[in-house]
Chain A
Amino acid sequence: MVATINGATANAVNTKVTLCGIEMDNPVMAASGTFGYGKEFAELYDINQLGSFSFKGTTLKPRFGNETPRIAECPQGMLNSVGLQNPGVDAVISEELPELAKVFHKPVMANVCGGSPEEYAAVTAKLEAADQNADCESAQPQIGWIEVNISCPNVKDGGMAFGTDPNAAASVISAVRRETKKPLIAKLSPNVTDIAEIAKACEAAGADGLTAINTLLGMRIDLRTGKPILAREVGGFSGPAVFPIALRAVWQVTHAVDIPVIGCGGISSAEDVLEMMMAGAKAVQVGSANLVDPYACVKIIEELPAAMEKYGITSLEGICSEESRKNM
């Protein structure tokens, strides 16, 4: 492993970025739903090499999720209809977060889901309270950001239903906003006509940042049976195939709002990271790539300084500035 972990490298490029006031050694986060609560990956490598990660979407009560099959192969990507399987916020607080604290010493992003604005708010309130009460030796809270998942395409109630209507999106963000002072990130759905409109509604309702994008609604049929492969028939499409769509969404959203945007969708190389940041992203999330290659995030982080050098980039804060975008 090349020692490029702490931002400054032998080549003197600076990979540090600041997201909503929190400094990160590099802009690479693992996306929610592809990294669990960190445990599986911490067994393979030091996950402190990541900028951070967004933990598995968490609801008020435990959820089993959808019936299987939940996964389907696609050209340059995959479908999932997991359906927010998670142990519920109480178990996350009592079991997952203390375990995570042993192996991850940076602020984590908490992905919050619900079937109503009240549920989103209740999950956030519990996480907020737990973080304040935590017997934490470091002054730094364990949860850095709250990511509000208003874009999951795999649940009947809530999820994407909130993220495809500006008023509904605003109602969730407002409800969560009342429960926390932590930076609030709204995770946007690409399954809309005008993503900028939703982004503006979230900003107006108090979001401090945005993640663009969640998965695209897709479907596959098994030719032998003539029936959908997924038990729930439709699911979220992700992987390299969606990268241009995510990039376009980030570009549109960054031009519509003043809050920072995290680029997410199909990123699988350091060059994808740079391209996403040139589109305006302050940080990025790597999702499906983690499932195919558990070392995807650390490989991207290792490759980042060389990729920056190749394109004459000395600082990542620089390439996503308003000025550098105008100069493109």
Chain B
Amino acid sequence: MRNEIVTIQSRRQLAEGIYEMVLQLPDDGAASGSGREGAAAEAIRPGQFINIKLEGQYLRRPISICDWTEDTITIIYKTVGRGTEQMSRMQAGETLDILYPLGNGFNLNGTFSKPLLIGGGVGAPPMYGLCKRLAGMGRKPIVLLGFGSTADVFYEAEFRQLGAEVIITTEDGSRGVKGFVTDGMDGVEYDSLFVCGPERMLQAVDEKAPQDVPGQMSFERRMGCGFGACMGCSCRTKYGSKRICVEGPVLERSEIVW
């Protein structure tokens, strides 16, 4: 874990209440003493998150990492409260104090060849970084993204540019398959699952998918510290309690207790 002051390189609105922010990491030279060694790219795994300190907010705000390069981190967030609303008003050039990378991230060491990546709403962003790495490993990811309505859809083109097959579902049917992501799973062939979204969506996907398909699911919890000290985000698993911020946010399907 590193603590760094990053500069907002760009911020753009992707959909109603959905924003993308590209954060510029300091030069290694400027960051001496920060604990950052080498390029950020080597340190980050898809599914990890950053924890952001905001002026006037006491606790940090955990936001999943969408993508990263050697010296940038891209996040996508939804305005759900004061912290994220504050972030939605921040401009390029302003700085943020972040802890990163946090959490375990997705494990890419499986033998799967046809991974199905499912993202619901702001569960989609971590799927982008994952899709990019899987594509880079020569896998053929299928990406299934669920939204409320056509106006809520974001990053479809970005996913397609990675060469992924993209399926969109909307609850009102205004785009793609009508219904939930589980409706979009019909007829799709896959040998592994990577999922991020609201917990009820994760559970619905788990119930729909064949039991023998290995899967990893990314969970969300209100957090205190984000680095394992406060035990604020614990959850029960088949193998004992785990901290969503350290042993999560990604849990193996086989260990999840609903």
List residues of chain B with CB within 8 A of the CB of A77: 58
A78 close to B224 (CB less than 8 A): yes
Q: State in angstroms the CA–CA spacing of A299 and B221 once bound together.
A: 29
CB contact under 8 A between A40 and B227, given known A78-B59, A294-B3, A295-B3: yes
The secondary-structure label for the interface of chain B is loop
Query: In the complex, how many angstroms separate the beta carbon of B58 from the nearest chain A beta carbon?
Result: 6
The reply on A22 being an interface residue by CB < 8 A is: no
CB contact under 8 A between A239 and B58, given known A40-B228, A40-B229: yes
The reply on A324 being an interface residue by CB < 8 A is: no
List residues of chain A with CB within 8 A of the CB of B82: 73
CB contact under 8 A between A69 and B58, given known A33-B230, A80-B232: no
A41 close to B223 (CB less than 8 A): no
**Which residue of B has the minimal Cβ distance to A223?**
B81
The reply on B65 being an interface residue by CB < 8 A is: no
List residues of chain B with CB within 8 A of the CB of A41: 229
B230 close to A82 (CB less than 8 A): yes
Q: State in angstroms the CA–CA spacing of A85 and B81 once bound together.
A: 28
Q: State in angstroms the CA–CA spacing of A78 and B224 once bound together.
A: 8
Q: Select the stretch in B7-15, B119-127, B171-179, B233-241 that faces chain A.
A: B233-241
CB contact under 8 A between A85 and B241, given known A291-B225, A291-B229: yes
**Which residue of B has the minimal Cβ distance to A68?**
B221
The residue from B53, B59, B227, B232 contacting A82, defined by CB atoms under 8 A apart: B232
The contact size tier of chain A is 35 or more
**Which residue of B has the minimal Cβ distance to A30?**
B229
B58 close to A35 (CB less than 8 A): no
The secondary-structure label for the interface of chain A is loop
B228 close to A68 (CB less than 8 A): no
List residues of chain A with CB within 8 A of the CB of B60: 292
B229 close to A294 (CB less than 8 A): yes
Binding site for B on A (CB under 8 A): 33-36, 40-41, 43-44, 56, 64-65, 68-78, 80, 82, 85, 229, 239-240, 288, 290-295
30 A-B pairs in the complex with CB atoms less than 8 angstroms apart: A34-B229, A34-B230, A35-B229, A40-B228, A56-B231, A64-B236, A65-B234, A68-B222, A69-B221, A69-B222, A70-B231, A70-B233, A73-B57, A73-B59, A74-B58, A75-B58, A76-B58, A77-B58, A78-B224, A80-B230, A82-B231, A85-B234, A229-B222, A239-B58, A240-B58, A290-B225, A291-B224, A292-B53, A293-B3, A294-B227
